[in-house]
Amino acid sequence: MPELRFHKYQGTGNDFIVIDDRRGLFDQSRTDLIASWCERRFGIGADGVILIRNHDEVDFEMVYFNPDGTQSLCGNGSRCAVKFAKTLGLVDQQCSFLAIDGVHKARIEGSLVSIRMQDVGPPARAGEDYFINTGSPHHIRLVSELSKVDVFQQGSRIRYSDQYRPDGTNVNFVQPNGKEVMVRTYERGVENETLSCGTGVTAVALVMAHRGFDSPVSIQAEGGNLTVSFTKRQDGSFSGIYLSGPAEKVYEGVVNY
């Protein structure tokens, strides 16, 4: 059986299988492998799989897969990809990389990795809630007692609702706590609650800015703290958006397939 070396990274509890695919050997149609590797009882266990590939115009390309094989932007995955690319000698303290939604800039400052997100339009109302796309779609619901929310049940109901057919959405439950914001997220593609979601944290910060919070916004996810800084334009849109937080290697290994 062929062997593949992988590296396990996590960013505030959002964990990823990261693969050095600069030779372009991984068959991206093997969604069965991605699903089996991400399975936590019979596989390696992860919220997604990241390929690092060469690119002629930027420092590297990040190809991200959800556990179900779909592709999207992943904010925490991007930060882990930058940290891994540094170990490969592809980047130093600052870099640029290509993701599914275009080119991003990033910087490494000690244990923190910050990535610049694409500019985002104003949040839209979704009934009593909000919707905003930060590279991945996010539904935002403010709640009074976050600890009592059944994230899986309520999140899956919104994710699969007629409102978001056919592609669905991620769902974030949010409770302001003074100057900080607490969030729990149901992730599309993972189809469960995750400890953190980078695009979700970004979406929450921008919705809170729409409601009067100033930059930067400190977000407390289940897996740790992240910070989102931005410039709010007069028309309610956002530019200069940076998602910042820790990204760490957990271990590396070899998988047969």
- 204 touches 181 (CB < 8 A): yes
What the block records as the tokens of 8 is 């396990």
CA quadruple 68, 72, 76, 77: dihedral sign: positive
Euclidean distance between CA atoms 151 and 143, whole angstroms: 12
Euclidean distance between CA atoms 134 and 174, whole angstroms: 16
- 38 touches 70 (CB < 8 A): no
- 130 touches 246 (CB < 8 A): no
From the candidates 38, 80, 95, 197, give the one annotated as an active-site residue: 197
Q: Give the DSSP letter of residue 162.
A: G
Euclidean distance between CA atoms 37 and 52, whole angstroms: 17
Phi/psi of residue 76, each to 5°? -70, -35
Known active-site residue 38: no
Before 67, cis peptide (omega within 30)? Answer: no
Q: Residue with structure tokens 């068959």?
A: 27
Give the residue among 57, 79, 76, 53 at the shortest CA–CA distance from 66: 76
Known active-site residue 74: yes
Cite the active site residues: 74, 197
